[in-house]
């Protein structure tokens, strides 16, 4: 931690006094150790993130204005998305141009697909209870309700095989070429994404004003059309919504035993540029939030390190951890 503080101070000085940087030898600035501290100046955003000890198994930070990858580790590592799957589900349903007032009757299949009796995240429901499509979108994205996600997929009238085919086609159309889904809820651990792919998915999802409006809510009153006993208040699982340093445009959490905690967000850090941040395989949910914020806070410094160390690398990609 002491070394990290010293590096932060040094980089801050470089940002405040850039003219002094260019009076120095570029290679030496990037690679010369600081003897008193016993550390080496980071030469890329990846080096900097490594010094901060980010625990995620894979992560990517992308500048959405320039399309540049600023920081990454194991960007192409295949990983179980868990409930990150639900953003593709939502996009595919929206592609069918549905009416948000459409009434959907919940089924036993929804409860089974959601593992509702086995501890899976679900809204309070049972076969025969009716909700609007709008309500189900809120339920699938805010508390990550599996039964709601399955009902959304069913609402399209497609078979599950047809719906899954569209999920994979949608992912491919967004440039997610190393991604594959087998069902719409995220409960199947054989669903696979990469962090590099998922920055494109989270960006596309929360470029949609409707999905963005849902993601910005901390709670929502979900009402049944036919049974007031199933009226309920649902809450957003995203804790960065109330963080003063982060302007959250949209985000999604995900957890399975096989994936641990995943988090993906489109955000601005302290009024900076739009960033897509994906962290996969965090040991704790609070850590997923904290490390997302840390990575976002390093984005500007990552850009600057690329300028002062122009060795031909693509910003954060100079020292990407092998997959």
Mark whether 222 and 277 lie in a shared domain: no
pLDDT confidence band for 18 (50 / 70 / 90): very low
Is residue 19 pLDDT above 60, yes or no? no
Q: Percent of the chain having pLDDT more than 90?
A: 74
Examine the fold and report which residue of 241, 271, 286 is the final residue of a domain before the chain moves on: 241
Domain boundary residue, one of 214, 241, 268: 241
Q: Is there a domain that residue 246 lies in?
A: no
CA distances from 147 to 88, 126, 139, 201, 313 (A): 16, 9, 9, 22, 45
Nearest to 52 by CA among 313, 302, 314, 304: 302
163 inside domain: yes
On whether both 73 and 202 belong to a single domain, the answer is no
Q: Is 251 helix (H, G, I), strand (E, B) or coil?
A: strand
Q: Averaged over 144-167, what is the pLDDT?
A: 98
CA 157 to chain centre: 29
Greater model confidence, 64 or 9: 64
Q: Which of 15-29, 49-63, 117-131, 174-188 has the lowest mean pLDDT?
A: 15-29
Same domain flag for 266 and 157: no
| Of 241, 273, 294, the domain-final residue | 241
Please tell me whether residues 8 and 149 are part of one structural domain. Answer: no
Structural domain that includes position 63: 2-78+259-319
3-class state of residue 282 by DSSP: strand
Catalytic site positions: 83, 86, 144
pLDDT at 251: 97
Longest dimension (CA), the chain: 73
Model pLDDT, residue 267: 96
Q: Which of 48, 27, 31, 39 is nearest to 297 (CA)?
A: 48
Residue 201 belongs to some domain of the structure: yes
Is the pLDDT at 204 greater than 90? The verdict is yes
Instruction: List pLDDT tens digits, range 241-287.
Output: 999 999 999 999 999 999 999 999 999 999 888 999 999 999 999 99
Predicted local distance difference test score (pLDDT) of residue 40: 63
The 3-state DSSP class for residue 268 equals: strand
Same domain, 202 and 179: yes
Q: What is the pLDDT of residues 90-117, one digit of tens each?
A: 999 999 999 999 999 999 999 999 999 9
pTM of the prediction?
A: 0.85
Q: In the chain, how many domains are there? A: 2
Which pair of structure tokens corresponds to residue 139? 């339920």
| Residue 198 within any structural domain of the chain | yes
Q: Say what the pLDDT of residue 313 is.
A: 44
Judgement on whether residues 100 and 56 belong to the same structural domain of the protein: no
Question: What is the percent of the chain where pLDDT is above 70?
Answer: 81
In the predicted structure, residue 4 carries a pLDDT above the cut 80: no
Nearest to 204 by CA among 75, 315, 71, 62: 62
Q: Answer yes or no: is 154 within a domain.
A: yes
Query: Which CATH number fits the domain that encloses residue 233?
Result: 3.40.710.10
Is residue 109 a contact partner of residue 154, using CB atoms and an 8 Å limit? yes
* Residues 212 and 274 grouped into a single domain: no
* Average per-residue pLDDT for the chain: 86
Please indicate whether residue 226 or residue 323 has the higher confidence score (pLDDT): 226
When comparing pLDDT for 317 and 161, which is higher?
161
Does residue 102 belong to any structural domain of this protein? Answer: yes
Crossing angle, helix 133-141 and helix 146-155, to 10 degrees?
Answer: 140
């Amino acid at each position: 931690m002491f070394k990290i503080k010293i590096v932060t101070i040094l980089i801050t000085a470089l940002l405040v006094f850039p003219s002094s940087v260019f009076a120095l030898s570029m290679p030496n600035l990037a690679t010369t150790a600081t003897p008193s501290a016993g550390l080496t100046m980071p030469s890329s955003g990846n080096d900097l993130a490594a010094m901060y000890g980010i625990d995620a198994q894979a992560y990517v930070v992308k500048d959405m204005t320039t399309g540049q990858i600023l920081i990454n580790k194991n960007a192409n590592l295949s990983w179980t998305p868990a409930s990150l799957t639900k953003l593709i589900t939502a996009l595919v349903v929206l592609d069918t141009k549905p009416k948000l007032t459409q009434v959907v009757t919940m089924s036993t299949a929804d409860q089974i697909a959601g593992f509702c009796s086995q501890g899976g995240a679900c809204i309070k429901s049972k076969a025969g209870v009716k909700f609007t499509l709008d309500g189900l979108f809120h339920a699938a994205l805010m508390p990550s309700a599996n039964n709601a996600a399955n009902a959304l997929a069913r609402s399209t009238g497609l078979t599950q095989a047809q719906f899954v085919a569209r999920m994979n086609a949608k992912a491919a159309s967004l440039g997610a070429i190393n991604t594959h889904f087998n069902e719409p809820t995220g409960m199947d651990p054989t669903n696979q994404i990469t962090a590099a792919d998922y920055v494109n998915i989270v960006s596309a999802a929360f470029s949609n004003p409707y999905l963005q409006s849902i993601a910005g809510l901390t709670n929502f009153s979900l009402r049944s059309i036919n049974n007031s006993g199933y009226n309920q208040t649902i809450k957003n699982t995203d804790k960065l919504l109330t963080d003063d340093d982060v302007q959250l445009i949209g985000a999604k959490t995900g957890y399975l035993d096989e994936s641990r905690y995943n988090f993906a967000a489109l955000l601005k850090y302290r009024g900076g540029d739009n960033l897509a941040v994906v962290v996969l395989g965090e040991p704790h949910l609070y850590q997923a939030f904290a490390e997302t914020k840390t990575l976002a806070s390093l984005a500007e410094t990552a850009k600057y390190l690329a300028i002062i160390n122009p060795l031909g690398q693509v910003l954060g990609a100079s020292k990407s951890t092998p997959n």
